[in-house]
Amino acid sequence: MALHIPTLLVVSVFIFSLMGLLTFHAWLRERRERPLAYLGGMMLLAAIGMVLVSWRDQGVDFVPKILGNMVLLLSAALNWTAMRVFAGRAPHALGLLAGAGLWLALCMIPAFYHSMTVRVTVYSLLVGGYGAVTVLEFWRSRQSLEVACTPALVLTVLHTVFYIVRSITDQGVGMSQALKGQGVGVPFFSFMLFEAMVYVIGIAYVTLAMVKERVELRFKAAAFCDALTGIGNRRAFMVHGDHLLLKGRDQDKPVALLLCDLDNFKRLNDAFGHQTGDQALIAFSQVLSQTLRKDDVFARIGGEEFACLLIDTDEEEAVQAAERIRESFAHLPLLAPGLLSVSIGVVTSQALGYDLSRLLSQADEALYDAKDKGRNRVHTRSWRAPARQLG
């Protein structure tokens, strides 16, 4: 069944315009997602370009041959730019204008301007080139995007392959012939319009899905992050701590809990101001980041209180790690010597098991003992498991 080309042209312009406006609307609701603005511009330019190239054989050949194709090439360049920006890279102004600029320069050559076959080949290669660099953007950023980009990658690869094939096989067809449904190239022309609509709808959908996924990841990260120090908050500690304890139990490895509380923090705020207190909290967070291992879990769980879970760590090793933290913090040049100190309570799963609530409760008791004995010290709370009764 042959596709009716005039209908396809009208429908394609309508779809490009509608999808462009909807994408712009999505960008206006989330201004930080600039890829949506570029993608919306791509679709609107595609609609304008389709209108312009349809004016062929109307006595104003420079409009469809030069202006129309330049607009369509700018549209392809904006598609590449949208994905480039989504991947965290800045727009490339020269690359954005290169396709349209090259087309304008080539159209100044009579042999190129008057040969439909050559124009179709060059145009298809330029669009395919923009598709290829778009695929490259996805591929080089596939690890850092942290969202499911495979559908967009596959869609762009297929779009790129289509135009590479077109550059080899399509000889072009006049617009008057296409509108009448006559000529050898009419089936390919109608399929090209259909492919363009499928690609625009598909890339809009998958891009919106990627943006939505990334926004959700940001909100989730914010919900698990302490705004001042940048490390995990209490919620993050409880979730990741449970996972680490389960891992330790399954692998039969000891887990140590360090409960840290900055000494005389209220007095520090009163004497030097809350800004200095905030700097002390940030500095202690950095000490934890530099001292603990990658697999350890640590977080700010309240005011000036921090908790750390160390996997594959017995009591002796936990005390050594706590002493390193205490000494590193005490020697920071933030304030005069003696003004910064931390008390740390230490417990382990070897005596208390792998229940996070129980570990926190007993670590709090150990921390209280450290405070009670003069602060700026590490205190453990050793427990012995009850002897098994024989009966």
pLDDT tens series, the chain, 391 aa: 456 777 888 899 999 999 999 999 999 988 889 999 999 999 999 999 999 988 866 667 788 889 999 999 999 999 999 999 998 899 999 999 999 999 999 999 999 998 988 999 999 999 999 999 999 998 888 777 778 888 999 999 999 999 999 999 887 766 666 666 666 667 788 888 889 999 999 999 999 999 998 888 888 888 899 989 999 999 999 999 999 999 999 999 999 999 999 999 999 988 899 999 999 999 999 999 999 999 999 999 999 999 999 999 999 999 999 999 999 999 998 888 878 999 999 999 998 999 999 999 999 999 999 999 999 999 997 643 333 333 2
Rounded Cα gap, residues 119 and 272, in angstroms: 73
Token pair recorded at residue 178: 């296409």
Rounded to whole angstroms, what are the CA distances from 269 to 54, 152, 286, 299?
72, 52, 19, 21
pLDDT value at residue 123: 95
DSSP 306: E
- pTM score, whole prediction: 0.71
pLDDT value at residue 121: 94
Of the candidates 139, 135, 201, 141, which has an alpha carbon nearest to the alpha carbon of residue 163?
A: 135
Amino acid at 342: V
CATH of 234-380, one of 3.40.640.10, 3.40.50.720, 3.30.70.270, 3.90.78.10: 3.30.70.270
Contact residues for 48 (Cβ-Cβ < 8 A; gap 6+): 71
Task: Say how far residue 67 (Cα) sits from the centre of its chain.
Answer: 36
- Where residue 181 falls (left for φ over 0; alpha for ψ -120 to 50; beta otherwise) is left
Domain ranges of the chain: 5-223, 234-380
Token pair recorded at residue 8: 């396809």
pLDDT value at residue 182: 62
Bridge partners of 255? Answer: 311
pLDDT value at residue 1: 47
Strand order in the sheet with 305-311: 297-302, 305-311, 255-262, 342-348, 378-380
Residue indicated by tokens 């887990």:
255
